[in-house]
A and B are shown apart, each in its own frame.
Chain A
Amino acid sequence: DAGVIQSPRHEVTEMGQEVTLRCKPISGHDYLFWYRQTMMRGLELLIYFNNNVPIDDSGMPEDRFSAKMPNASFSTLKIQPSEPRDSAVYFCASSHLVGGDTQYFGPGTRLTVL
């Protein structure tokens, strides 16, 4: 298995632009998590899905952030409009509860908003 795949790996955009981050979980995994990592706040859980259904989005900072999981192999995290304080590394992770609790992380997307 290729592991969790994220794209793009780096994104530089200007304030006010829409940003879409993409994630492909490990095949067969039924949980998908979106995290944001910054020096100040560490690893923060933004939202997670179980069987494509959002379970908890209480970590989403504000209405500018939205996430979808239209099928078991694809999820997006969208920021619209983006702001400089959104600059961070965004990780997607997936896990399979029946097979174990381990969350496997993707390589991350480094987002810079100018």
Chain B
Amino acid sequence: GENVEQHPSTLSVQEGDSAVIKCTYSDSASNYFPWYKQELGKRPQLIIDIRSNVGEKKDQRIAVTLNKTAKHFSLHITETQPEDSAVYFCAARYGNNRLAFGKGNQVVVIP
């Protein structure tokens, strides 16, 4: 099956700075990579995703990059705000529409 790893586990940033979270995956056949944001006590919610035929995708302050050769993808948050504080999960699709999730990164935005 697929194995997804996230680095670092916790990330603290000053408000206004950028945050970058990196994930690696093991299955070269994976072709869909979503990112979910989970606030405390809430459900995971999709914030951005990327498919293997695209190298980068941007949506306002967030962007995702994909390097298929190295099998890693990253989430970039610019101009961080306190409401960006949450746990972020990366995932990779494998097999028959299954997602393998990373363990999550706690992002803390310091006002």
Contact at A101–B98, with CB atoms within 8 Å?
A: no
B44 near A: Cβ within 8 Å? Answer: yes
Contact at B96–A101, with CB atoms within 8 Å?
A: no
> How far in angstroms is the closest Cβ of chain A from B97?
6
Contact at A43–B97, with CB atoms within 8 Å?
A: no
Chain B residue numbers with a CB within 8 Å of A33 are 98-99
Assess A101 versus B34: contact at CB under 8 Å? Given A56-B96, A95-B97.
yes
Contact of B97 among A97, A105, A106, A108 (CB under 8 A): A97
Contact at A105–B44, with CB atoms within 8 Å?
A: yes
Chain B residue numbers with a CB within 8 Å of A107 are 42-43
> How far in angstroms is the closest Cβ of chain B from A103?
6
Compute how far the CA of A106 lies from the CA of B34 in the bound complex, rounded to whole angstroms.
17
* Total contacting residues, chain B, CB less than 8 A: 21
Contact at B43–A108, with CB atoms within 8 Å?
A: yes
Compute how far the CA of A103 lies from the CA of B34 in the bound complex, rounded to whole angstroms.
9
Contact at A45–B99, with CB atoms within 8 Å?
A: yes
B89 near A: Cβ within 8 Å? Answer: yes
B101 near A: Cβ within 8 Å? Answer: yes
> How far in angstroms is the closest Cβ of chain B from A12?
16
> How far in angstroms is the closest Cβ of chain A from B87?
10
A48 near B: Cβ within 8 Å? Answer: yes
Compute how far the CA of A50 lies from the CA of B96 in the bound complex, rounded to whole angstroms.
10
- The residue among A31, A42, A95 with the most chain B CB atoms within 10 A of its own CB is A42
Assess A42 versus B104: contact at CB under 8 Å? Given A102-B49, A105-B43, A107-B43.
yes
The 7 tightest CB contacts between A and B, nearest first, are: A105-B43, A43-B101, A42-B103, A101-B32, A105-B44, A107-B43, A102-B46
The chain B residues found within 8 Å of chain A, CB to CB, are 32, 34, 36, 42-46, 49, 89, 93, 95-104
Chosen A-B contacts, 16 in total, with CB atoms closer than 8 Å, are A31-B97, A42-B102, A42-B103, A42-B104, A43-B44, A45-B98, A50-B96, A50-B97, A55-B96, A56-B96, A91-B43, A101-B49, A101-B93, A101-B97, A102-B49, A104-B46
